[in-house]
Each structure stands twice: as C-alpha cells, then as structure tokens.
Structure 1
Amino acid sequence: MPTTSLAPASNKRIDSIDILRGIIMLVMALDHVRDVFHQGSPDPTDLATTTPFLFFTRWITHFCAPNFLFLSGISAYLAGKRRTKKELSIFLIQRGIWLVLVEVLIINTAFELNFQFHFLVLQVMWAIGVSMILLGLIIWMPIELIGIIGLLIFCGHNLFDYFHTSGFMSKLLFNASGFGPQNIIRLDASHNVLDAYAVLPWTGVMLLGYFCGQCYQSTFDGKRRQHLLLRLSALLLFTFLLLRYFNLYGDPAPWSHQKTAVLSIISFLNVTKYPCSLHYLCMTLSAGLFLLAMAERFGNRLTRLFAMYGSVPFFYYILHFYLLRLFNIIIFFVSGFNTTDIQPKPTDFSFHPANFGFSLWGVYLVWLAVICTLYLPCRWFSAYKKKHRAWWLSYL
C-alpha cells in the first residue's frame, strides 16, 4: 500500500488495510501449496516428527485467518458509512450467504474435483460468511454493545472446552457454533462434512474489527489511531505470553519443556487453531495490529505490491486454488505418474499419491510461482475495480 492517508475518506480504499490484507493473501497461499506439494505431507505441529523449518512454514500462516476476519469487520464498518443500517444489514447478509455458497460449491470443487460433494470442508470462507450474516442481524445494536459481545466471545469461548456433547444434531450445533473441536459430521453413508472453522470465535473477531472500524473514520486522527493499534498489539502480546507461559485459561493444548530448547519454543508457539483458542487469537492479532499500525508509516514499491494483492482478495483467493490444482495436475504427469496413480477416494486429493511432491525448498519455489503467476491478473482486476462502480464488484 505510496504513503497511507492518515485521514482516509470513506469512499476510497485505505492503504494500510490493503497492505496487511495483501500480506495475508500471499502468506496464506504458502500453507495451501504445502498441503498439496510437500512430499509425504507430515504434520508440521507434531513435535515427534516436525523440524523448525517445517513448523515455521505452518506457524507463519496461522496469522492469516484471524487478521483477515478482523479486517473484514473494519471493512463492514466502513461499508456502513455509505449505507443506511437497513442497506448494510441486507448487504452483509447477502454477501455472507454468497460466501457460504462459494465455500461449498467453488472452493470444495477446487479441492476435491468431485461434483458429487461427498466430502465438504467448511473453512475460512464459511467462517467469514456466517460471521457476516450474524453481524448483519445485530447491526441495529449500538456499536458499543456489538463490541462488548465480540469481546465476551473472544475471551470466553474457551470456557466451552470443558463441555462435551453427543448425538448428531447436538454435535452439529456444538461444533458449528465454535464450542467443540473440529470433527467429521456424517450426513449419510456417502456424504460427510468437516467443520474446520467453527463459527463462534471467528464471529467474535469480526465483531471486534467492526467496533475498531470507528478509528478509521475520516475525522479520527491518524497518529492517535497508530498509537491505539500499537497499545492494543502490546496488550494482546502480553496477554498471550502471560496465559501461555503459565498454561492458564485459553488453550486446550498446554505447552511443556522438551528435550531441546528449539522444541520447547515450538511447543510454546504450537497453539490451537481448530477451533481457534484465546492464545492463538492473542498471538496472531497482536502481530496483525502491529503491522496495521506500521503500514501507515511506510510507502514504497513493496507496500504498493502488497496493496495491489490486498485490493482484490476474493479474486486472488479463488484463482489461487484453481491455479494450485492446475499446477498439481501438470506436475503429477510431468513427474511420471499416470492415470492409474489417481486416488479414487473422495476424501483425498485425486492427484496426490503418497510419494508425490517436493521438499520444503520445492514448496517455496512453487509458492513463488503461484503468486507471480497471479500478479498480472490481480493487477488487471485491481485497476478494473478502481475504474468501475458496478454493484456486483462489492461481492468480489
């Protein structure tokens, strides 16, 4: 994102938000590339088998989803400055439904190449979509009350780590709301759903982002906003270090001293994402708020590059999944595999046999190839959005 305006107008994009969103989009792709192309796909968070390089490759992508949800909340507030409450409510609900449909129909198709949808994975689009619907329903409340609700969810959702449930409907509601660990929900003999992103804690993050959107009003002093973001970042970091070091409330997976200092550090940083814990949210949002404040102080070619990607996040997100699938199929055949090696199970990547893929260095090269390939399409669409004001662009 040239230098950022410290008092942005409500009808123009805010550079610092696009800068952070662009960083998120680029880093996020690394995790998806690793999923597809890392040979053997070992668990990066398993202390018995992981390496520092592998763990870091996974850990750095932890920062993407929470900060994207937070920025979505800010964007929802800014969208409300150009709409009435009724218009904003309808917009958020419609856009939320659209994102859920995109998750189920478009993203899952890219993952599985299975048009019978035997195995649906509800991921970040689902979480954003449902969170938008919920925000659209409560948008009529005073913004202070929305902020309080968001804070209560943010701080209190881990209380439900101590509850358990059984039965199909109760388990579905329990996990969809964010009270339980991710698991596979069986719909029938051949259709299953993995609720990877339980909604409730993510909704709390979006509500807090919506509340903090007030500091991006054109009348809000830019220096004051930067200082506020830095203080909030420091508070979240302190909260994370305190709760994590003493293994207090906020994460079902405590850390412990390991046989080496490096593994102990990995254990300390190995917080729970599914469903996201208070430790995880404090750690990731602390870094995001810091970068959001710093993005207002710098303007150069790199930040403009980040801002370009960040101005078209939906477009980039959809394209990168299908580009990954295309690369997957091409490399599959170039590597010497043939149609007999395609896995028939609907829950597996069709072109991902056990011995397919590269080392981590190869994963990083594919990641660079993906984001470089998407540069020109994203630059074109970013320029198109700046020149056009069609209603449908709000949904892309």
Structure 2
Amino acid sequence: MENVLTNARLVLENEVLQGSVQIRDGAIADIAEGPSRSGEDMAGDYLLPGLVELHTDHLETHFSPRAGLKWNAIAAIQAHDTQVAGSGITTVLDCLRMGSGEEGGFARGEMRELADAIETAGRAGRLRAEHLLHLRCEVSTADVVDQFSDFEHDPAVRLVSLMDHAPGQRQFQTMDQYIFYYKTKRGLSDDAFKAFVARRLESSERYAAPHRTMLAAQCAARGITLASHDDATPEHVEESVGHGVRLAEFPTSIAAAEASHKAGLSVLMGAPNVVRGRSHSGNIAASDLARLGVLDVLSSDYVPFSLLHAPFILAEEIDGMSLPAAIAMVSATPARAIGLHDRGRIACGLRADLVRVQHDSGVPVCRSVWRQGDRVA
C-alpha cells in the first residue's frame, strides 16, 4: 500500500522542510523537498512524527471514574485510546500502579486484569495507538514486589519507575505539601493525620531501600528502562544512577534536574506544567529547565492533549529553542529512552507514524493521525 502526503511543513529532526512524504507498506519510503504532483494535500500544515507518551495516568480515570467504582476495562481503554490518538499520540505507555497503600490504589490482580484487557483490545484491532506498559512502583508499600511479579513475563513492560510518596521523600520535601495532599484534601483530623504520617514513615523506612534494590535488579536483568521519580537532591540522583536509572521523571528542584542531566539521564517533566506555566504541586517550572538546557522529555501526565500543545509553546517562548528541538521532546527522545528506534522521527525506513497539525498561533489543531501508514484519527 502506497500513499503520498504533500504540501506539508515537515518537522524533521533538525529542520522544518516544505515538502512531501511517501509512505509504503507502513513505513516512510521517501522524503522530498517541494510539492508532489500527486498525493493528499496537507495545505501547508505541519507534519510531525507520531508522539511518544511515556507517563500517563489518564487510563486510571476511565477505569475508576469514581472512588470505589470500576468501569468495564475494554470500554475504559477505548475511551482513553480515543483521546490519546486524537492528541497525536501514536505510542503510549499506560501507567499501572504497583503497591497498595491505605491512601488508595488497586488490589492485587486488578492491574494485571487491566493489562490483559489492553492486550486483548489491541489484538482485536480496537485501538488506534500502540499501547505499552509503564509500571509505577510505590517502593514503600509491602506488596509492591508481589504485584510486580504479576508482570514477570510481560514483554509490553517497557518502563518501570521507582516512587516513594512518604513525607520527607522526593515530592514531599516539606510537610506543607504533604498536609495539603493527605490531610486537607482528605479531611483528616489532626490525630488521624499524625497516625497516618507515622505509618507511612515506618513503611518507607522498612521497605523502600530493599524494594528499590530488588526492582532495579529485576529491570536490569530484563532490559527494562528504569526511571526515578521526584528526585529532589543531588544525593537522590546519585542513588538513582547507582540503581541504573536512565530517565529522571519530574525532578523537584533545579539542582536535581541539573545533576540528572549531567549524569546522562534524560530529564522528563510534565507537558501540563509547560501549558500552565508552573507545576500544579508547587515544584519547579518545566520551562525554567528548558531555558537551562536540561529538559529532554515531556509527558502528558494527566492531560493527553498537552503533549501536542506544549512543544509549540516552548518553541515560541524559549530563546534559541527550535520547533524540531521541542518536538523531539515528545517523539525522538522518549522513543530512544525506551529503546524504540523504529519511530519518533520523520526519516526513511522508520514507521509512518505521523500527525498533521494546523498551527499559526495559540492552541494547535490535530487534523489527522497515521500509525504505520494507516489513518487512525
């Protein structure tokens, strides 16, 4: 099967080229400057590589749209997939939570059930994007290793992140933040909150270090990319490097981001942070890291469309940042981070994962999406 997309502004790895792309058998067969005599007219719109999403919690909101309520898994996945593909995302790593804490989470077996439903939906041709897995491991919980073992032989697992949301750890360096998340939002009394904090600290002290070591070793043996989460200090980064971490997710300080970048880790921040101009939790702004040259990857986190919106904001607002460099943060760099070398760029021989975007100013419009040459949105 062959197709030509012509009269497009092609966002290549190092330049924007007015030209055409020839697609053959699901791959990019040729790239030519100038218009083609035949093919589908892109009317001067941008043509981007399909976006690669490494960290989205969005599926959870469809699977459990209300506290204590579980939706039909296939229906939840299809709803999530529709929004993902409509945002230009052609490869998505769906986050599944490992570790059940008293503040929330899923019972053992529920995440395996959801992963099985993703695989079933994909085999049945129900999904527009390609779905892989990112296991978010809460290392301070007693059952995180047991839940992780449910995915021992699953080739869809491409990324594992190590998290500890106990007070004083990573994201919650100050009690002010922790009080807001776990006392104010949950309406806990002073005594109930004090007891909750004590239990979380005891659990972190008991489980976090051995679970980090155990999970890191298993990921190394299986060739799974390992991510840190919310590192706040250079000491945290040093620990992450020692565990073989290659991706630094959401560092909470400039010092941690700079140390991660210097150590060769790809620094990931949230695209919603870029769109809003600040972190929703009061931590560092992603755009500040971009200005310092230490931002490598963007993730949509909780708003899928932000992954398409944020790179255009960075290219417009950050001095010296080109549109190709900004688009690489949501395509080529995240693909490389998890070893997917067949996508993420508009280049001959790679998958024809492509996104047509209309953008002159303001919010971009996703007009069409192709995955391996097939139009999916």
Shorter-chain TM-score above 0.5: no
| Higher strand residue share | 2
TM-score (norm 2): 0.30
Structure showing greater relative contact order (alpha-carbon pairs closer than 8 Å, 6 or more residues apart) = 1
